[in-house]
Structure 1
Amino acid sequence: MRPNWTRLVAVLAAGTLLAACGQPAKPSSSGVGDQDVATGGRLFSTADSETAKLGADVGPGVFPRTVTHALGKTKLDKKPTRVVVLDSGELDDVLALGVTPVGMATTAGQNGVPSYLADRVKGIPAVGEINNLNLEQIAALTPDLIVGSKLRANDLYPQLSKIAPTVFSIRPGFPWKENLLLIGASLGDETKAVGLLNDYQQRANEVKASVKGTPKVSLLRFLSGNIRLYGNLSFIGVILKDVGLARPANQNINELAAQISKERIDEADADWIFYSSYGAGPSADEKAVTSSGLWAGLGAVKAKHAVPVDDSVWFLGLGPIGAMKVLDDLKKYLG
């Protein structure tokens, strides 16, 4: 079962502010927080100012370089070619940037990796699960870069950084764009990362123009013993905002999610409901809810606007490849 994200976000945010006061980040001309002149500027917005401060001290493609990240500074003498990724977001990011990792952490989702990436990662060895990493397996792969996040693997950073240069974002999820830029900075591929996000925003604009009317969209997710309505501080919440889609008041919140019970499923109602279960297949809670009279009485269900979606894309994607697939789904259903 996943950690209590809302509580963890609050703790990490406080720690980040303290770190920022003691060691202020100074963005460089090629840092994550700056305009990239080579691509004509950025078309996209970012969601997390702290992550946006992180980046490299030299221009795109230049090595050696020092990358400022969530747990300090990491020097990279040359462009990394043997990358180990510690979560699904980093996996999506490096693949989008044209890098096939030599090792990856797995999730509790289908096949251990997001389903939409399964064909791209055949043959890549696993290095444990995201919450149970195997350091010996990581070391055996002789990586020259390890990428992950403070939220997932903070306590293992000292050991990981002894194996190879390690770059950590603050957390996965809503800063997914900034995290891509940070990995781009680690690989010397800042320009490519900006280009991917510009392409994403152009596609988001196209989807926005195709949406019929002004629907409110509800995001419902079933976890083990936990039912959530997702808010703005989530991967999918950021995408909905980029498309200009309105949210019900109980989800238009600057939090990851709000928890509800099966008896309060009416709080999930909206013009459209997109829902999924974490893990392999519909959860027991999803089956119980979607077969209940309360569910059948929801306006979205009556209008046939309650849509099951791929959890590994909508909630575990956490990168530009997954984001583009979410946009395709939104276009299909709302366009």
Structure 2
Amino acid sequence: MNYNFYNLNKAVMACALIPLLLTGCGAGSDPWEGQVPASQFASAKETSEAATITVTDFAGREVTVPYPPARIVALSNGDMDIVHALGGHLVGRPTSSAAEENLADIEEVGTTHELDLEKITFLKPDLVLGNAVLNTKDTAMIESIGSHMILTEANSASDIQNQIRLLGKVLDQNDKAEELVQSIDGKIREMQNAKLSSQPRVLIIYGAPGTYLAALPNSLSGNLLELAGGVNIASDYPELDSFPHYAQLNTERIVESDPELILIMTHGQPEAVKEGFFKEMQVNAAWNGISAVKDGQVHVLPSDLFGTNPGTKVTKALDELRSLLEEAQ
């Protein structure tokens, strides 16, 4: 979808036409009031003089950006997907991202873990979207090249919905954003109304070569598992100080819980991660007595849906989980 970007004259005309949407143009209520937590977007406003909007991002920062931004760099798959779904103009995307075919030619600019400042500078974005935990340290650097940075994160389906609303506000696509939010609500209601005959016991593992951690309910995958109807056996595992959404695997407790389904998520190299995990299990024969292992219910989740924030595709992630849960019943 193409956008008509506001210059000064158009912004003034817009003030006369749509005062309810542009709070800087005079009286009129904010159409998002009461729909989003006040702490999330408490100070959103638009000013006709500079064609900007001020929002509060997920790190609690008030950020003023061009309204709407003409050139956007996304450092995560979730933000990339949401901007694309809302019709925003992406000029930079995450390196090695699972991009749709029509996004494949967009310049790769690194990731939230390690952004490529030289490439970002060359692209001259109005707005760079980063992660609230990983990229707070990078905001000054991004601002030094004349760009603006909004920080987001997603540890639940609700967080993704708030991401959509925030970016919908920035892109002047409130109605479209609400449609996407409602589609997620609809999928969640579908899961709730079509309950499983039983709730399979599930262990979700985040895997990288040589590293395996259990996903907790406060993680995105843990939240989606509960919404899909599964029971997370690691729900009471102690969280790691450095990774509070994950816990160390505890073989004794896993064997005691006897999960019926083991799901492995990874950012990349899924087969290598699965092979490494099976080698880890072979070291301890106790794993062989677990129902999920005996019944062949050990699966690697699609990395574009679970190795990262899936954005609007969270509905597909829920469908994937429900299908696996039904198979494991």
Q: Is residue 286 from structure 1 mapped to residue 277 from structure 2 by the alignment?
A: yes
Aligned to 2:30: 29
How far apart are residue 185 of structure 1 and its match?
2.2
How far apart are residue 181 of structure 1 and its match?
2.3
Q: Which sections of structure 1, spanning at least 5 residues, go unmatched?
A: 1-27, 37-48, 107-111
Residue by residue over 1:226-256, the C-alpha shift from the partner in whole angstroms, topping out at 9 and shown as x without a partner, is: 2111112211122223334332254577841
Aligned to 2:299: 307
How far apart are residue 118 of structure 1 and its match?
4.3
- TM-score normalised according to structure 1 size: 0.73
Contact 1:87 1:148 in 2 (8 A): yes
Residues 201 and 290 of structure 1, relative CA distance in 2, 3 Å threshold: farther
**CA radius of gyration, larger in:** 2
Contact 2:260 2:290 in 1 (8 A): no
Q: Output the CA distance in 1 between the equivalents of 2:83 and 2:130.
A: 11
Aligned residue for 1:129, secondary structure, equals coil
Contact 1:219 1:268 in 2 (8 A): no
Residues 261 and 246 of structure 1, relative CA distance in 2, 3 Å threshold: closer
Aligned residue for 2:62, secondary structure, equals strand
Matches within 5 A, 1:102-117: 102-106=91-95, 112-114=96-98, 117=99
Aligned residue for 1:218, secondary structure, equals strand
Aligned to 1:140: 122
Aligned to 2:320: 329
Contact 2:203 2:262 in 1 (8 A): yes
Q: Is residue 167 from structure 1 mapped to residue 150 from structure 2 by the alignment?
A: yes
How far apart are residue 138 of structure 1 and its match?
0.8
Aligned residue for 2:30, secondary structure, equals coil
Which structure has the higher relative contact order (CA within 8 Å, separation 6+)?
1
Aligned to 2:52: 64
Q: Give the length in aligned residue pairs.
A: 283
Aligned to 1:276: 265
Residues 68 and 304 of structure 1, relative CA distance in 2, 3 Å threshold: same
Aligned to 1:45: none
Contact 1:176 1:235 in 2 (8 A): no
Q: Which sections of structure 2, spanning at least 5 residues, go unmatched?
A: 1-28
Q: Output the CA distance in 2 between the equivalents of 1:226 and 1:53.
A: 37
Matches within 5 A, 1:45-124: 52-53=40-41, 56-57=44-45, 64-69=52-57, 70=59, 72-106=61-95, 112-114=96-98, 117-124=99-106
How far apart are residue 85 of structure 1 and its match?
0.6
Aligned residue for 1:67, secondary structure, equals strand
Identical aligned residues as a percent: 24
**What residue identity is the alignment partner of 2:150?**
V
Matches within 5 A, 1:84-233: 84-106=73-95, 112-114=96-98, 117-162=99-144, 163-169=146-152, 171-174=153-156, 175-208=159-192, 209=194, 211-233=196-218
Aligned to 2:312: 320
Alignment root-mean-square deviation, CA: 3.1
Q: Is residue 246 from structure 1 mapped to residue 231 from structure 2 by the alignment?
A: yes
How far apart are residue 71 of structure 1 and its match?
5.7
Aligned residue for 2:268, secondary structure, equals coil
